[in-house]
Chains A and B, each alone.
Chain A
Amino acid sequence: MSATYAHPEVLVNTEWVASHAKDPKVRVVEVDVDTKAYDEGHVPGAIAWAWNTQLCDTTVRDILPKRQFEELMTQSGIGNDTTVVLYGDNNNWFAAWALWQMKMYGHKDVRIMDGGRKKWLAEGRDVETAAGKSAPASTPYRAMDADNSLRAFLPQVQQAHKSSGAVMIDVRSPQEFSGEILAPPGLPETCQRGGHIPGARNVPWGKACNDDGTFKSSEELQKLYGAEGVTAAKPVIAYCRIGERSSHTWFVLKYLLGINNVVNYDGSWTEWGNLVGAPVEKGAAKSAGQA
């Protein structure tokens, strides 16, 4: 991996995980939308978190409440000083969501396995099918209050739109961005209108990754995002459909490129695209110079 990332300590490679997965101070967690992939086979010793039931408030649309987050950590055998390594399918898509949430609640040492599940399998590394054991932590986990500075809520996004006070980066596919489709192909439509927030730039999240699932180099990432006006000079708001793809881009911008003033708008298009009266722009992305 590149030595020039702003925070290289947040990434570990598959070799590191193979050597440390069963260390007592390390907890490896496979994170996906559900646990189907995990059940087929996973990194030996890893436990599983399902985004749809364990990493969201399942009543109110929100992240996990603090108490539930603490319970999840404790039940997962994670203490405040545990090194947590997250990985998952699809270039660590949902792993990034879990990392974003763990950072909101103040966990110090949480990392991503570069390349995720895909790289682990492609390398022919050992997998096991038995569910990992997660003896509860001996000391109850204590989370900090949620750090909402890592997150954008609707009023902040509306204000940024009105004042052009932030670079809005839409990380969905070009077809979702243009309004041609209302949800990723094959998934249910979850918004009333297609298109994007006026003025948003379109950089699909997966462009940050190589074919093997690892992150692109710092130089490549700077070029990719810099061409769309994403720099440390202006606040950045990342959004997608439900906030998970944009948590991946948030991770890339904050930890790999060192852009501190970036937030994840997890309400995303399922919020904006359903609002009565919200301005919507349709059509393909313009080049940065046309913005």
Chain B
Amino acid sequence: MKPENYSERRVDVNGWQVNLTTYKLGEKWHTKADNVSPGAALARIVADTREDSEARALERARELLSRTKRHEV
């Protein structure tokens, strides 16, 4: 199999940058949401459509990012 329609885009989630990487493999769409810096994967989702895959990855990323506290420096 070859990955198709590979794409990356940045979105803002509650003030945090999230990188969405999506591609199609066979009949399924794969999305990874990472936290840009350092780039750790927050979610990996496989779904039937690009929209569903990205929406679910963002939902999971939003949930995890909501737990991150900003401290006074």
Number of A residues with CB within 8 Å of any CB on chain B: 43
Given A125-B2, A204-B38, A283-B73: A41 touches B25 (CB 8 Å cut-off): yes
The answer to whether A121 touches B6, judged by C-beta atoms less than 8 angstroms apart, is: yes
The answer to whether A40 touches B25, judged by C-beta atoms less than 8 angstroms apart, is: yes
Chain A contacts of B73 at CB under 8 A?
Answer: 178-180, 194, 282-284
> How near does chain A come to B14, taking the closest CB pair, in angstroms?
10
Q: How far is the CA of A181 from the CA of B34 in the complex (A)?
A: 17
Which residues of chain A (160-198) have a CB below 8 Å from chain B? 172-175, 178-189, 194
> How near does chain A come to B41, taking the closest CB pair, in angstroms?
7
Q: How far is the CA of A172 from the CA of B38 in the complex (A)?
A: 7
> How near does chain B come to A233, taking the closest CB pair, in angstroms?
28
Q: How far is the CA of A46 from the CA of B43 in the complex (A)?
A: 23
The answer to whether A126 touches B40, judged by C-beta atoms less than 8 angstroms apart, is: no
Q: How far is the CA of A271 from the CA of B37 in the complex (A)?
A: 21
* Residues in B lying within 8 Å of A, measured CB to CB: 1-4, 6, 16, 21, 23, 25, 30, 32, 34-35, 37-42, 44, 46, 61, 64-65, 67-71, 73
Query: Nearest 10 pairs between A and B by C-beta?
Result: A186-B64, A173-B37, A90-B39, A185-B35, A186-B42, A121-B3, A122-B6, A186-B65, A185-B16, A185-B68
Supply 30 A–B pairs (Cβ within 8 Å), ascending by A. Answer: A36-B44, A37-B41, A40-B25, A40-B44, A89-B41, A90-B34, A90-B39, A90-B40, A90-B41, A91-B39, A121-B3, A121-B6, A121-B23, A124-B3, A124-B4, A126-B1, A127-B25, A174-B37, A179-B73, A180-B71, A182-B69, A182-B71, A183-B68, A185-B37, A186-B16, A186-B42, A186-B64, A188-B67, A205-B38, A284-B73
